């Protein structure tokens, strides 16, 4: 389960209705992947999973929490995939070339999810749960792969940084890359956004 949410269905999955819960969670994930927050409803979930509204109420309690879980799960998979890709990059890449690849992959992943899903999560989750201290910790999965990549890199353009510095830098990178999409900023995804992100991140990471 995503670690930073406080949403965990593992206890419920110990009962005899494990398959029902698994079906509902999978259905929620599929609905979220279709990226239309208007469909994040009990009726849509029941229809997708093939269960009654009464079953949803009995097994899930808060249907909204299930969609939060699904959004977090999709984000977790995306960042785990990005972490794996970092470890497989050409060790001859310069820091600026690495950042350009990173930004382009991040933009592509965000466009696949769509900003509307990000805004749904930001608005609804924080209204219900507040802005927790670990709200942006999901990016921390990139820290260790990045440090390993730096040690293997042959371009002599990367600073070797500590785990703490890498953690803070990657959280700052979220502000540069992801938050304009989540905030609906007109610059999001434009060539100018890309330029700003690449130049700013390169300055943080280069020797």
Q: Which residue has the tokens 């992959």?
A: 105
Question: pTM of the predicted model, to two decimals?
Answer: 0.84
* Radius of gyration of the chain measured on its C-alpha atoms: 19
DSSP 133-190: TTTTGGGGGGHHHHHHHHHH--SS-BPP--HHHHHHHHHHHHHHHTHHHHTT-TTTTS
Q: Which pLDDT tens digit goes with each residue over 53-106?
A: 888 877 777 888 899 999 999 999 999 999 999 999 999 999 999 999 999 999
Q: What is the pLDDT of residue 2?
A: 47
Does the structure show a pLDDT above 80 at 111? no
Q: Label residue 1 by pLDDT band (50, 70, 90).
A: very low
Q: What is the pLDDT of residue 15?
A: 56
Q: Which pLDDT tens digit goes with each residue over 136-189?
A: 899 999 999 999 999 999 999 999 999 999 999 999 999 999 999 989 999 999
Cα gap 96→79, rounded to integer Å:
21
Q: What is the pLDDT of residue 60?
A: 78
Does the structure show a pLDDT above 50 at 22? yes
Residues 38, 136, 65, 18, CA torsion sign: positive
Q: Which residue has the tokens 């930073």?
A: 4
Q: Which pLDDT tens digit goes with each residue over 124-133?
A: 999 888 888 8
Q: What is the pLDDT of residue 7?
A: 61
The Cα-based distances of 21 to 8, 69, 121 in angstroms read 12, 13, 22
Residues 27, 21, 72, 182, CA torsion sign: positive
Q: What is the pLDDT of residue 115?
A: 87
Q: What is the pLDDT of residue 44?
A: 94
| Cβ–Cβ under 8 Å, residues 22 and 29 | no
Can you tell me whether residue 205 is helix, strand or coil?
Answer: helix
| Cβ–Cβ under 8 Å, residues 136 and 56 | no
Token digits for 98?
A: 């690495």
Does the structure show a pLDDT above 70 at 195? yes
Q: What is the pLDDT of residue 85?
A: 94
Q: How many residues does the chain have?
A: 207
pLDDT average, residue stretch 35-39: 92
* Residue with more model confidence, 199 or 115: 199
Helices (runs of H) and strands (runs of E) counted in the chain: 10, 0
Cα gap 78→75, rounded to integer Å:
5
């Amino acid at each position: 389960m995503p670690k930073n949410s406080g949403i965990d269905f593992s206890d419920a999955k110990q009962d005899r209705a494990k398959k029902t819960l698994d079906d509902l969670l999978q259905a929620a994930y599929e609905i979220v992947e279709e990226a239309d927050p208007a469909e994040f409803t009990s009726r849509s979930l029941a229809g997708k999973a093939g269960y009654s509204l009464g079953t949803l109420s009995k097994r899930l309690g808060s249907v909204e929490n299930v969609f939060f879980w699904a959004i977090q799960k999709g984000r977790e998979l995306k960042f785990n995939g990005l972490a794996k890709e970092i470890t497989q990059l050409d060790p001859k890449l310069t820091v600026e070339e690495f950042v350009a690849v990173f930004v382009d992959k991040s933009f592509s992943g965000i466009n696949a999810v769509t900003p509307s899903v990000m805004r749904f999560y930001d608005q609804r989750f924080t209204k219900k749960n507040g802005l927790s201290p670990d709200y942006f910790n999901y990016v921390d999965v990139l820290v260790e792969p990045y440090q390993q990549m730096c040690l293997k890199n042959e371009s002599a353009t990367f600073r070797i940084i500590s785990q703490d510095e890498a953690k803070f830098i990657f959280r700052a990178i979220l502000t540069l890359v992801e938050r304009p999409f989540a905030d609906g900023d007109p610059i999001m995804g434009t060539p100018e956004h890309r330029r700003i992100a690449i130049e700013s991140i390169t300055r943080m990471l280069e020797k």
